[in-house]
Amino acid sequence: MTKRTLISIAAAIPVALLAFSAGGPLRRTGAPIDGGLDCSQCHNSFGAANSDAAGSFTINTPAYKPGTTQILTLTIAHPQASNWGFQVTGRAINDPAHSIGSFAASDFVQVRCDDNTTNGSLGPCTGSLEFAEQTAAAVLPAASNGAVTYMLNWTAPASDVGDITFYASAVAGNNDHTVAGDRVYTTSLRVQNGGGCGLTKKPALRTVVDAAQFKTALAPGGLITIYGTDFQTAGNKRTAGPGDIRNNQFPQILGCIGVQVNGQALPITYAQFDQINAQLPMGLTTGAVQVRVIANPGSPNEFDGDVGTATLQNYAPAFFTLNGSSVAALSTNYVPVADPAVVSTGHPAKPGDVVLLYATGLGPTSPAFPAGAILGPSTLAPLPTGAAFSVTIGGTTLAPSDVLYAGATPGSISGLYQINARIPASTPDGDIPISISTGGVASPSGTTINVKR
């Protein structure tokens, strides 16, 4: 197939317009967040997008570097087409409702902004959704089986935002100035941060605690919180989302910050100026370990923080709480179990109810999962049956039959544990003390669950 560029075509023959070459309806890129609409909403003589396998549509661009401008190429081909059009948008996977980066207008590309009208208005766009599309259709001779390539300038966001997806829809038209007889194609491209990191200060680690009750007792595989300074620029917060997760694993670099324990990189779930949330590897040996926070890991401008220390033990059970004391618990209907004064939508548990409790530091599960892994929504990974595990509510240690499940939380990171336990029938009203114990180690005192008959 002969490839012909838009520039060479435009120089040789007059420009003919698509039916919507001056700016068709916006939100027609196939982006799911925009309803999945594409150009086949109008150009539908051959059915839905991608129905005709004789044609093709591709997007190509390298990994982005924050704040830099790069070329996005869109190539449309069909042996029977003679004019062409497209619409493309860029979205951060972590925030698909907003455009990310910015396109530049040129002789062949226009930028249109969603101003709540059908066709939008010409850019530049200031915060509204942004779409790039052709200014006029490129026309090939009717007998040509060539392709046309549009080259767009796109400037990446100023900082790391996780992976970005470009969504695009294209028309391979017959140049009859109507929407009839045209083929439509859609495609998308996911790109990641190519290593452009701009943190400028050496991170300073202050302390490492468990992420539930913020105690210094830590266990392999546990969720931890690291406190210090210069983990992000002031005001910037990064929560790991779908745009950071690859191969069902949380990232080891988030917002250009990384953490190592004894030289092993940790999966990170959150980072801000003075705090990092991460998970310890399951295979670490107990005793003193070395902890280091690294800014711009692997980049020429890498800053290695000073080494800190933490002490690990085999088990360090700790409840996640709502306010430092009331445990984070759900009913089997997933309603918060809490005093309404603590959680407005909460309801106390009743004696005999089964509640879902959340904790960390309970040790290995069976089967075991690596740190940072996300369990499938129906994956059960209980604590080993031989493990000495117990739940105590109001001074009553529950019978094994009243602990319906204790293990990793389905659908969550492997270091988050779930305990399904039945409230004893004799439990009185009030904020009742609750604790867990595993491997002979009890959770910190002072946690309660709200009960009312």
Residue 299's pLDDT band (cuts 50, 70, 90): confident
Beta strand segments in 296-408, E: 303-304, 308-312, 318-319, 329-331, 354-360, 381-382, 389-393, 396-397, 403-408
Indicate if 69 and 136 belong to the same structural domain. yes
Q: What is the pLDDT of residues 32-54, one digit of tens each?
A: 999 999 999 999 999 999 999 99
Could you tell me how far CA 64 lies from the centroid of its own chain?
17
Indicate if 28 and 165 belong to the same structural domain. yes
Indicate if 82 and 60 belong to the same structural domain. yes
Neighbours of 433 (CB within 10 A): 15
Give a yes or no: residue 94 inside a domain: yes
Q: 0.75 cut: is pTM over it? A: yes
pLDDT number for residue 176: 87
Q: What is the pLDDT of residues 304-321, one digit of tens each?
A: 999 999 999 999 999 999
Going by C-alpha positions, the residue among 56, 59, 32, 64 that lies closest to residue 157 is: 64
Going by C-alpha positions, the residue among 264, 223, 257 that lies closest to residue 358 is: 223
Indicate if 15 and 155 belong to the same structural domain. yes
Domain holding 258, by residue range, is: 204-312
Final residue in a domain of this structure, among 312, 340, 362: 312
Question: Is it the case that residue 301 has pLDDT exceeding 60?
Answer: yes
Q: What is the pLDDT of residues 85-123, one digit of tens each?
A: 999 999 999 999 999 999 999 988 999 999 999 999 999
pLDDT above 70: percentage of residues in the chain: 93
Give a yes or no: residue 156 inside a domain: yes
Question: Is it the case that residue 3 has pLDDT exceeding 70?
Answer: no
What is the Cα–Cα distance from 174 to 157, expressed in whole angstroms?
A: 37
Indicate if 52 and 179 belong to the same structural domain. yes
Final residue in a domain of this structure, among 312, 344, 365: 312
The per-residue pLDDT of the chain, averaged, comes to 91
Give a yes or no: residue 349 inside a domain: yes
State mean pLDDT over 414-436.
97
Indicate if 147 and 239 belong to the same structural domain. no
Indicate if 80 and 115 belong to the same structural domain. yes
Give a yes or no: residue 199 inside a domain: no
Final residue in a domain of this structure, among 265, 297, 312: 312
Give a yes or no: residue 197 inside a domain: no
Indicate if 389 and 404 belong to the same structural domain. yes
pLDDT number for residue 163: 95
Please tell me which residue, 385 or 425, carries the higher pLDDT value.
425
Would strands 69-77 and 56-60 be described as parallel, antiparallel, or unpaired? antiparallel
Question: Is it the case that residue 413 has pLDDT exceeding 60?
Answer: yes
Please tell me which residue, 141 or 180, carries the higher pLDDT value.
180
Indicate if 388 and 371 belong to the same structural domain. yes
| 3-state secondary structure (DSSP) of residue 125 | coil
Query: In this structure, what token pair is assigned to residue 326?
Result: 């009331």
Indicate if 407 and 366 belong to the same structural domain. yes
Give a yes or no: residue 1 inside a domain: no
Q: What is the pLDDT of residues 182-203, one digit of tens each?
A: 999 999 999 998 877 889 999 9
What is the Cα–Cα distance from 398 to 392, expressed in whole angstroms?
A: 6
64: domain CATH number? Answer: 2.60.40.10
Indicate if 260 and 143 belong to the same structural domain. no
Q: What is the pLDDT of residues 227-250, one digit of tens each?
A: 999 999 999 999 999 999 999 999
Give a yes or no: residue 198 inside a domain: no
What is the Cα–Cα distance from 124 to 102, expressed in whole angstroms?
A: 9
Burial readout 196-232 (b: 16 or more C-beta within 10 A, e: otherwise): bbbbeeebebeebbbbbbeeebbbbbbbbbbebbbbb
pLDDT number for residue 140: 54
Q: What is the pLDDT of residues 249-271, one digit of tens each?
A: 999 999 999 999 999 999 999 99
Alpha helix (H) ranges present in 120-198?
Answer: none
Q: What is the pLDDT of residues 335-355, one digit of tens each?
A: 999 999 999 999 999 999 999
pLDDT number for residue 427: 97
Burial readout 91-120 (b: 16 or more C-beta within 10 A, e: otherwise): bbbbebeebbbbbebeebbbbbbbeeeeeb
C-alpha distances in Å from residue 202, one per residue of 62, 193, 231, 251, 307: 29, 21, 8, 21, 12
Indicate if 322 and 307 belong to the same structural domain. no
Residue 16's pLDDT band (cuts 50, 70, 90): very low
pLDDT number for residue 195: 73
Domain count of the fold of the chain: 3
Give a yes or no: residue 339 inside a domain: yes
| 3-state secondary structure (DSSP) of residue 324 | coil
Going by C-alpha positions, the residue among 419, 213, 447, 437 that lies closest to residue 314 is: 437
What is the Cα–Cα distance from 185 to 172, expressed in whole angstroms?
A: 8
Question: Is it the case that residue 142 has pLDDT exceeding 50?
Answer: no
